[in-house]
Structure 1
């Protein structure tokens, strides 16, 4: 039976920016908290810190406040029963100097206000500036629960003096994300928007209306010269000549990924003579829409971490292109290695490996299914631990 007194939890993360991967993290955490709270006999009411609280509230049906308005953030935490920080790569300084101080500051504020704090499946690092390390250690030592999404993050925290026994290594929350099975409304299912402007809706998992296997591609800009994207385009063009396919670009973070996708499409040239087709997905409103897109692929070639996580969770064979250690870490957990990196990518290896996986998809699934299912179950551990903590304090 659900407790009469709800437990309010504030969620801090990279939310409201409409990055499909981070929005998927939020959706996965919200779903896990609701289900594990119900299993523990408590009602958990989330309040999300978002850059666009109106959009977040509308999309997920939860309360949200502006993450950059200190008074709103402080008030939300003050009136809560605890704070969750995560998941995603929040505590890193590779993309700038503001991320670590912001997310540590939110946790520290909650601790000053006497609230329990929980770190939810974060990817910690890289932390290249040593001045950040003692601050991370000081804040994390006061957290009531710490979980990270890979062993490398745990090792980094241990090097900062956090006892290893206080750190739980779990999969990324998105491994536990599901497609709605009964009448749960998200935005409308994405329609194929071909390069020629024609629509070709998919007819089933892994094939488009013409019966071609769908190869999902998730790219982003990384190197200034864009050589890795040009090489990927060459590999995709080679694949299309080896085997007729439908290459479906999946922008995870607009507008940048959309622009990167169109750059690769232009570099590929015309593949219609080989019987292949190319399209790009429209911007999605809800992460489950993109998850549905990935579930309809026969193969996923991805730079974005969460494109690879989506594929693994749906047991779609995948090829990862590494631009960051987090890609290598995740691929290692599912028993794979990158097909190349942004510094070294061989187009013919991409084409050959893609053709192999399109032919041996069932072999790949049999080899990886057990490990993927174990990761899905483990992805719920943080929500279970947090729900049990709240119940014990209630």
Structure 2
């Protein structure tokens, strides 16, 4: 048995980050079983009781230093896991926190592993040595796109030590017994296409959301559709969705708008996405969920990570938080609804490649742990 501490943005009820955690736990368990090792995870969470309840694993409070030290000291290593942890767009404290946890593990002589992270943006140059130092001392480094690898190389991390993989969530399975795209209850009541919508607050003036509402309303007036809003970060995304729904105005005959509530379990949200005919997403993990379930997608870019992921699937964003043409949106959404099989054939190979890559970090980490005496 190997006891592994997992550091990340966990316990905050963000569906994307929780999906990253659940995907890592699944992959470690499966790879451990295949390699004859039992992995005992210890998650650093802002809400340890909730994390333990959700995933059935041990958890400690990520902001209580004594608890973190005890967890790392009694472990066989630390994973800094998934998501956009090493970036300073959300503030100047994010990078020091996550590199600090890594540095602590290294000072305690524990091997550290970087699990499919998205690196950047890093706008404060004094952050570079913090990242470079912990990366160079890590036993394994993987990132989720070539741009992240290039950024690490620019700040002095040897390129040969970096593996480019896909986001862990590409390997997340549906809930046990669920069938992809098999809608339940009222979702089978009609054959009206379901358009999944994942939006988040970004611009202070709300102009990006107003443009999204205009585009969605134009689509709903051009043909019957069910606009299903999917809140990936509660409660903020639910409130954002309600605001956009209020701006839709009168929809065309046969069209409707609804707010879904799949709950906190990432697999239930993955199931909700699988029921959609098209996904219009601003949240990165909404798009990743769609790729996971081979649902045609339209990305609205607010951050380079959106464009980087879409590029790996062979796509470009339909718009950004600065511009979104309603007519172009309607035309492309209609094409995806009417010619779904063509889209699937065009992007199937790229999606399968991402799914295969999603398991590589767990395989490498378990192997390293198995040979680390």
Q: TM-score normalised by the shorter chain: which range applies? A: over 0.9
Structure 1 position 30, deviation (Å): 0.2
2-side partners of 1:302 and 1:182: how far apart?
Answer: 26
Contact 2:193 2:277 survives alignment (8 Å):
yes
Structure 1 position 210, deviation (Å): 2.0
Structure 1: any 5+ residue segments left out of the alignment?
1-5, 184-188, 192-199, 204-208
1-side partners of 2:262 and 2:121: how far apart?
Answer: 30
Match of 1:19 among 14, 36, 48: 14
Match of 1:165 in 2: 160
Match of 1:202 in 2: 187
Contact 1:217 1:250 survives alignment (8 Å):
yes
Structure 1 position 106, deviation (Å): 0.3
Contact 2:175 2:271 survives alignment (8 Å):
no
Contact 1:299 1:358 survives alignment (8 Å):
yes
2-side partners of 1:283 and 1:40: how far apart?
Answer: 34
Tell me the alpha carbon deviations over residues 231-261 of structure 1, each in whole angstroms, 9 at most, x when there is no partner.
Answer: 1111111111111011100000011111111
Match of 2:316 in 1: 337
Match of 1:349 among 309, 322, 328: 328
Instruction: Confirm whether residue 233 of structure 1 aligns to residue 228 of structure 2.
Output: no
Match of 2:237 among 238, 248, 257: 257
Find runs of 4+ consecutive structure 1 residues off by over 4 angstroms: none
Match of 1:153 in 2: 148
Structure 1 position 351, deviation (Å): 1.4
Match of 2:285 among 291, 306, 322: 306
Match of 2:253 among 274, 294, 301: 274
Tell me the alpha carbon deviations over residues 253-302 of structure 1, each in whole angstroms, 9 at most, x when there is no partner.
Answer: 0111111111110110121x421011011251200010000000000000
Match of 2:223 in 1: 243
Instruction: Confirm whether residue 223 of structure 1 aligns to residue 203 of structure 2.
Output: yes
Match of 2:192 among 202, 212, 224: 212
Question: Cα RMSD (Å) of the superposition?
Answer: 1.4
Q: Secondary structure at the match of 2:175?
A: coil
1-side partners of 2:195 and 2:297: how far apart?
Answer: 10
Contact 1:116 1:143 survives alignment (8 Å):
yes
Match of 2:103 in 1: 108
2-side partners of 1:146 and 1:286: how far apart?
Answer: 28
State how many pairs are aligned: 370
Structure 1 position 211, deviation (Å): 1.8
Instruction: Confirm whether residue 378 of structure 1 aligns to residue 357 of structure 2.
Output: yes
Match of 2:32 in 1: 37
TM-score computed with the length of structure 2 as normaliser = 0.97
Q: Secondary structure at the match of 1:201?
A: helix
Structure 2: any 5+ residue segments left out of the alignment?
none
Contact 2:199 2:237 survives alignment (8 Å):
yes
Match of 1:393 in 2: 372
2-side partners of 1:120 and 1:130: how far apart?
Answer: 23
Contact 1:254 1:283 survives alignment (8 Å):
no
1-side partners of 2:358 and 2:93: how far apart?
Answer: 28
Match of 1:290 in 2: 269
Q: 1:47-58 maps to which residues of 2 (within 5 A)?
A: 47-58=42-53
2-side partners of 1:373 and 1:25: how far apart?
Answer: 18
Match of 1:318 among 279, 283, 297: 297
2-side partners of 1:346 and 1:124: how far apart?
Answer: 30
Structure 1 position 385, deviation (Å): 0.2
Structure 1 position 225, deviation (Å): 1.1
